[in-house]
Amino acid sequence: MIELPEERFPGRDAKVTVRHLAKSFGDNVVLEDIDMTVLEGTVTAMIGPSGAGKSTVLRCLNLLERPDSGTIDISGHRIDAESRFTNRQLYALRREAGMVFQHFNLFPHMSVMRNVTLPQQRILGRSKAEAEQKSHELLTRMGLGDKGSQYPNRCSGGQQQRIAIARALALEPTVMLFDEPTSSLDPEVGVEVLEVMHELANEGMTMIVVTHEMGFARTVSDDLVVMADGRIIEQGEPKRIMEDPSHPRTQDFLRAVLQR
């Protein structure tokens, strides 16, 4: 069953709109006609068995993966995969969306401070002093105020992921994309990251989170998207879907995950 968020939260503006998104790698169809809307100030969690295409949707949103067809609109920056677009349009779209990766993808040859500062200088044109002040502010908020001069691989996984979140937030995106942010972390460390994400959600950040953390999906997200075989098979109120899934694939998936 698909309950669209527009119906559940009338009066909210759409922040991310995806229409007819499709992507294949060779003969392998990864995404098939995906329609998705994310409303301002809401958290959308995406779950489903591995290989379902959740991460690919996220990577198509900021064009890390070029879709074969479909349109993407983030905060009014619109790109149609089938027509030409300029680099300027591409960078403008990416600036709206901050992305957090499963493996953090920090720059290992730069200090933590420079990891957070350099993008602000290059992308927003901030002065070094201005950018460093912002970085310090964000790192402190993440509980990492003293880590600025360290190198990323001297930090724990949980710390690295929070640095990556700070790096993305420093560019003041209007949407945050999380691609399995806790999957490569130990459970007790993942909690630190989930807490930061929860806080962000409470502050009204619009978020899309691909995750295997059912607790987070259930309690923090406003909208739950279940994917299988490159399609959205179920969408709606998280608690409703978790307690009473209507699609047999959702039932199988939830049974498998929750039994663990």
Partner 1 sequence: MTFFTDAVQFLPALLGGLRVSLALTGLSLLFGLPLATLLSFGTRSANKPVRWVSIAFVEVGRGAPALVMLQFMYFGLPTAGLTLSALASATLALTWTTAAYCAEYLRGGLSAVPRGEVEGSMALGMTRWDTLRYIVIPQGWRIALPSLMGFAVILFQMTSLAYTVAVPELMSQAYTNATMSFKYMTLFVLAGSIYASISIPATWLSVLVEKRLARHL
Name the residues that contact partner 1, by CB under 8 A: 62, 64, 87, 91-92, 94-95, 97-99, 101, 103-109, 118-119, 122-123, 151, 153, 164, 167-168, 171
Q: Where are the beta strands (DSSP E) in the chain?
A: 14-25, 28-39, 43-47, 69-74, 77-80, 97-100, 175-179, 206-210, 223-228, 231-236
Closer CB to partner 1, 92 or 214, in the complex: 92
Helix, strand or coil for residue 27?
coil
CB of residue 74 vs partner 1: minimum separation in angstroms? 12
- How far apart are the C-alpha atoms of 15 and 98, rounded to whole Å? 13
Tokens 């309950």, residue located: 3
CB of residue 110 vs partner 1: minimum separation in angstroms? 8
Q: Which residues face 177 on adjacent strands?
A: 99, 208
CB of residue 154 vs partner 1: minimum separation in angstroms? 9
CB of residue 215 vs partner 1: minimum separation in angstroms? 27
Closer CB to partner 1, 106 or 225, in the complex: 106
Closer CB to partner 1, 132 or 222, in the complex: 132
Closer CB to partner 1, 94 or 249, in the complex: 94
Do the beta carbons of residue 36 and residue 57 sit within 8 Å?
A: yes
C-alpha angle 149-105-258 in degrees, rounded to nearest 5: 120
Closer CB to partner 1, 64 or 214, in the complex: 64
Do the beta carbons of residue 120 and residue 134 sit within 8 Å?
A: yes
CB of residue 183 vs partner 1: minimum separation in angstroms? 14
- How far apart are the C-alpha atoms of 54 and 73, rounded to whole Å? 18
